[in-house]
Each structure stands twice: as C-alpha cells, then as structure tokens.
Amino acid sequence: MHQIPCPWCGVRDETEFQYQGDATVRRPAAEASEEAYANYVYFRENPKGVHIEYWRHTGGCRRLLVVERDTVSHDIKAVRFAHIPGGGEDA
C-alpha cells in the first residue's frame, strides 16, 4: 500500500488519494489544433521507471500533488503541490 507524504497532511495511505495520471502533459492554447489536443488528452509516455503524476488528496487537504514515483519499485522520489509553481507552501 503506497504511503504518500502529503506536504500538508503528512504521510497518508494511498486510499486517501485519487490518482489523476500523467502530470507532464500540458493543455494546449485555446486555438491549438485537434491533433495537439488529442496528443494532450490521449497519448502518454507511460515510462517503466520514474513517472511524474498527479494524485489528489481527496481524503485530506484535497490539494493536487505532483508525485515522482517509480512504476516498477513504486518508490516515491518526490512530492510537491501542483497549484504552486515550485510546489512550496502557499503565501
């Protein structure tokens, strides 16, 4: 069972979080092509190894976290807030 260190709530069970997938994709500009949006919505790197992904702490602070996690060992390398560039705490 994943133990995810939430920057706000501390280490919590994976069951408190809602997985939100690949955090490396970026929504294209409004005027971008269907192709660009399709790549954003559907196509994934899906690495075997370190994956940068979103987990929302719905059972705790509800914030969206960016988690760097190894998809083989499941070790978590880093966690930060998604809503703050740099991921520090709010100010």
Partner 1 sequence: MGNNDFITPLSHLGLREGEGVAGGDGLHLWDRGRVGFFQILARKGRTGAVATALGFDEAPRLASHGVYGTAFATTPGEWVLVCNDDEASETLRTVSGALVGSGYVSDQSFGRAAFRLSGVKARLVLAKGCALDWSPSVRGAGACAQTSMAGIGVIIHQIDDAPTYDLYCYAGFADSFWRWLICAGEEFGVDGRRLTKEWKRD
Partner 2 sequence: MKTTAYRLSSGGAVDRSRPLSFQFDGAAYQGFAGDTLASALLANGVRLFGRSFKYHRPRGVMALGSAEPNALVELRAGAQREPNIQATMAELYDGLVARSQNRFPSLRYDLMAANQLAARFFVAGFYYKTFMWPSAFWEPVYEKLIRRAAGLGRAADAGDPDRYDHMHAHPDVLVVGGGPSGLAAARAASRVGARTMLVDENPNLGGALRFERTAIDGAPGDMWTDQITSEIADCGNGEILRRTTALGRYDHNVVLALERVSDHLPTPEKGRPRQRLWIIRPKQIVVASGAEERPIAFADNDKPGVMLSSAVRGFVNRYAVAPGRRVAIVTVNDDGYLTARDLKAAGVDVTLIADARGRTSVVSAELEAAGAPVLRNALPEQALGGIEVSGLRLQNAAGDRLADHPCDVIAVAGGYNPRIQLLSQSGAAPVWREDLLSFVPPETDDATQVAGACRGVYDLKACIEDGVAAGAEAARRAGFTDAADAPRPEPRPVAAAKLFEAPKPIGRSRGKAFVDFQNDVTADDVRLAVREGYEAVEHLKRYTTLGMATDQGKLSSVNGLAVLAEARGKPIAEVGTTRFRPPYAPAAIGAFAGYERGETFQPVRRTAMHRSHEQACATFVEAGQWLRPRYYARAGEDMTAAIRREAAAVRNTLGVCDVSTLGKIDVYGPDAMEFLNRLYINNWAKLPVGKARYGVMLREDGHIFDDGTTSRLSDDHCFLTCTTANAARVLAHMEYAAEVLFPDYDVTFCSATEQWCGVAIAGPNSRNALGKLFDGFDVSDAALPFMGVAETELFGVKARVFRISFSGELAYEINVPWGAGEMLWRRLMEAGAEFDITPYGTEALSVLRIEKGHIAGPEIDGRTTAADVGLGRMMAKKDFIGKTLAARPGLTAADRPALVGVRPVSAEDRLRGGAHFVKDPDRFEQESLGWVSSVADSPNVGSWIGLGFLKGGAARLGERIYAAYPLKAEMTEVEICAPCFVDPEGERLRG
Partner 3 sequence: MNYSEISLFREGLRGHVGWPRAWRDARPKPSYDAVIIGGGGHGLATAYYLAKNHGVSNVAVLEKGWIGGGNVGRNTTIIRSNYMLAPNTLFYEHAMKLWEGLERELNFNVMVSQRGVLNLYHSDAQRDAFARRGNAMRLSGVDAELLDADDVRRLVPMLDFENARFPIEGGLFQPRGGTVRHDAVAWGYARAADALGVDIIQNCEATAFRIEGGAVVGVETTSGFISAEKIGIAVAGHTSELARKADLRLPIESHVLQAFVTEGVKPILDTVVTFGAGHFYISQSDKGGLVFGGDLDGYNSYAQRGGFPMMHHVMSGGMAIMPRLGRLRLLRHWGGIMDMTMDGSPIICKTKVDGLYLNGGWCYGGFKATPASGWCFAHTIANDASHDLNAAFTIDRFRTGALLDEKGVGPNPWIQ
Q: Which residues bind partner 2 (CB under 8 A)?
A: 1-3, 18, 20, 27-28, 30, 32-34, 37-38, 40-42, 56, 58, 62-64, 74, 76, 82-83
> If binding is defined by CB under 8 A, does position 35 make contact with partner 3?
yes
Residue 56's nearest CA partner among 91, 26, 82, 78 is 82
> If binding is defined by CB under 8 A, does position 14 make contact with partner 3?
yes
Out of partner 3, partner 2, partner 1, none, what residue 44 binds, judged by CB under 5 to 8 A for its kind, is partner 3
Footprint on residues 29-68 left by partner 1 (CB under 8 A) = 59-63
> If binding is defined by CB under 8 A, does position 85 make contact with partner 1?
no
> CA 19, CA 57: separation in Å to the nearest integer?
9
Contact 7, 79 (CB under 8 A): yes
Give the contacts of 58 (CB within 8 A, at least 6 positions apart): 16, 17, 18
